[in-house]
Amino acid sequence: MSLEDRAKATAKNIEGKVQKAVGDITGDPKTQTAGTEKQAEAKVQHTVENIKEKVKEAID
């Protein structure tokens, strides 16, 4: 996994957690949902990068 891609996914996850927390505090379901969606996107990005890494290891 490239360090840059991992950093982007981690940043998106943190952004999603903050956004969801703000939604929880304000009671705004749209903000909560947007935060949860960003966290899910980050998880997918991590998974894709992990798969790429495993494939590369298998080829080497």
Place of tokens 């290891």: 57
60 vs 47: CA distance, rounded Å? 20
Residue 1 has pLDDT above 70, yes or no: no
Q: What is the pLDDT of residues 7-51, one digit of tens each?
A: 999 999 999 999 999 999 999 999 999 999 999 999 999 999 999
Q: Is 5 exposed, middle or buried (0-12, 13-18, 19+ CB in 10 A)?
A: middle
What local confidence, expressed as pLDDT, does residue 60 receive?
Answer: 83
What local confidence, expressed as pLDDT, does residue 32 receive?
Answer: 97
Domain residue spans of the chain: 3-59
Instruction: Supply the pTM of this predicted model.
Output: 0.83
